[in-house]
Amino acid sequence: AYIPNYLSNLNTNMTLYQRIYNFVLLTFAKFVNQHYAMSRSQNIVNKYFSNFNPPLGELIVNTSLLFVNTHFSLGISRPVSSNVVEVGGIHMRTTSSQLPMDIQQILDQSSQGVILVSFGSLIRISSFPRHMISMFLEAFSTVSLTIILKYEDDLPEAPPNV
């Protein structure tokens, strides 16, 4: 119960109550996996591969090598078997492409550095309430560095460093 369950938002510094909660979550996840997910998966395998042997549960126990899409630097430290290979990030490009000229020009002109503020591709800052955008801009105006803000529309009343 010392490794936080992936279904929880616990960290490694758990109280006794949190450890009990973590144990209950782990037990629940194992129960659901064994009695629901595995039986449904086995039914699908049986439907499409009628001569498939051995059962999935036996295959899992006898796995020789397992690639997992995680990386040790991004999660909580946990013991893993020697047959587990973490390949998280393998899909990322190792070569970089050229920056757009306007961004390259900003970087070249900023002697002290630049702060990049982006909420990713799913969150549009322009959809934030107006008062929240104003709070961001006011906070940015107090910083002496140049700020590149990913904003989808025309940015109203931007401070000179944004």
Residues 118-126: what's their mean pLDDT? 83
CA distance 71 to 90: 10
Nearest 5°: the CA angle 102, 106, 109 is: 135
Residues 19-38: what's their mean pLDDT? 92
Specify the higher pLDDT residue, 40 or 74: 40
Give the DSSP H or E segment for 27.
Answer: helix 16-32
Q: What is the pLDDT of residue 28?
A: 93
On the question of pLDDT at 94 being above 80, the answer is no
On the question of pLDDT at 65 being above 90, the answer is yes
On the question of pLDDT at 71 being above 70, the answer is yes
CA distance 139 to 120: 20
Residues 38-63: what's their mean pLDDT? 87
Buried b (16+ CB within 10 A) or exposed e, 81-104: eeeeebeeeeeeeeeeeeeeeeee
Q: What is the pLDDT of residue 41?
A: 92
Tell me the pLDDT band of 1, cut-offs 50, 70 and 90.
low
Is 147 exposed, middle or buried, given 0-12, 13-18 or 19+ CB atoms closer than 10 A? buried
pLDDT digits (tens, 9 = 90+) for 150-160: 888 887 788 88
- The pair of three-digit structure tokens given for residue 150, joined into one six-digit string: 């990913």
Q: What percentage of the chain exceeds 70 in pLDDT?
A: 99
On the question of pLDDT at 21 being above 90, the answer is yes
On the question of pLDDT at 40 being above 90, the answer is yes
Q: What is the pLDDT of residue 79?
A: 86
On the question of pLDDT at 60 being above 80, the answer is yes
Helices (H) and strands (E) in the chain, counts: 5, 4
Q: What is the pLDDT of residue 5?
A: 83
